[in-house]
Amino acid sequence: MAFKIKKDDIKRFRADYDNRRDSHVIENTVTKNGVRNASFNWHSIQDNDPHFSIDLKTGDVADQKQSGRCWMFAALNTMRHEMQQKYNLPDDFELSQSYQFFWDKFEKANYFYENVLKTAHKATDSRKVAWLMAEPQNDGGQWDMLCALIEKYGVMPKSAMPESFNSNNSRGIDSVLNNKLRHDAVILRKMVNEDHASQDELDAKRTTMLNEVYRMLAYAFGEPSTHFDFEYRTKKDNEYHRDANLTPREFFKKYIGWNLNDYVSIIQAPTADKKYHKTYTIDMLGNVVGGRQIKHLNLPMDEFKDLAIKQLKHGESVWFGSDVVQYSETKLGIMALNTYDYNALFDMDLDMTKADALDYGQSMMDHAMVLTGVDIVDGKPTKWKVENSWGNKVGHKGYFVMSDDWMDKYCYQIVINKKYLSDKQRKVQAQDPIVLKPWDPMGTLA
């Protein structure tokens, strides 16, 4: 039998509210200041002092502006940190995020077409097709997706492809591009289901569609150069350097030189459907058709943090993904469970386990940043230094402090060089991954 709210119930609720001595004081406070300000814990500032026993040298913080490119910024930042030290580059040196943005959107269009054709015989109201059409492409991504782009297209300095209005403000181009992709999906599905088109006919139509996508992106971001000159002055002695006529792939090989296969994704997902020491991938998730597969190794939190610390101790920053909106104070640059006390404000228990928060949609990865330091006290981490990509006007010149218990609760992914994995971890990382559903929370794009 359905449970209906009765007038007597509301009477009792009113009486309970009026009988609480502090109800009206709290009401005035929250209505005037908002929930977050009213529940802010002043002591969280003291508890999250921005000093760290391990603190890597890094440059100025970048700014992704009004775009969802955090995963690109974070990944390129880990690479530029090493470049800045090796070549004595100035603090404001950056790799081109716009270059990666262009090719990501181009490749995502082709990836979308691939999935449209794979699901063409399914009804439009099937869960897979509905999921696919809900957002044909967006700005987000994961580490393996950037590796796929770099392996195919290389990297260039920001000076070779600077920001545009649309890279800084991507909502407009995202809207019209998704319009086009859904429009094209109608055509491709009709060709399969009604016209019974041949593979050659489908390929020809797809090529025409991709040509149109390329033109849209070139108008929006500027057409990427195939060759460029790398010019810079060193930070310390102001020496001028020029390396002419480089391709983006040559630049990556010469100035970054990473073996991207050495860097693997580690996740922390304590849900019942994901056993530890197993690898996972996500169906229909990626950007480059035929490119690098998304692959995660799920580890317990103690192993997860131990790997991050090992990499930081060796002077290498760590790409990571988390649910940044949870208990996070942007202006002060604090990510800590005691930042806001909602339980005390509302006099109720709102706590959920990490597993329940994932399973019930309360939390998921939504932002990627970089670990550049950690404070070790009596052999254990107490807080972490975080390089964000929201400019230098928030936090401590763009850097945030993340408490260790916040990492436990809301950090879901790190990228680690395989040399820091134990023999056992390396062995299980090599396993073929278990395929998860497209809507699994570990498939969320940062």
pLDDT digits (tens, 9 = 90+) for 186-237: 999 999 999 999 999 999 999 999 999 999 999 999 999 999 999 999 998 9
pLDDT digits (tens, 9 = 90+) for 37-59: 999 999 999 999 999 999 999 99
Identify the pLDDT of residue 406.
98
Q: Which of 41, 48, 70, 287 is catalytic?
A: 70
Q: Which of 41, 77, 367, 411 is catalytic?
A: 367
Average pLDDT for runs of 10 along the chain of length 446? 94 95 94 96 94 95 96 97 94 97 98 98 97 97 97 98 97 98 98 97 98 98 98 94 98 97 98 98 97 97 98 98 96 96 95 97 97 97 97 96 98 98 98 97 93
Identify the pLDDT of residue 1.
87
> Does the annotation count 81 as an active-site position?
no
Identify the pLDDT of residue 321.
98
> Does the annotation count 70 as an active-site position?
yes
Q: Which of 166, 287, 298, 388 is catalytic?
A: 388
> Does the annotation count 367 as an active-site position?
yes
Q: Which of 314, 275, 271 is nearest to 416 (CA)?
A: 314
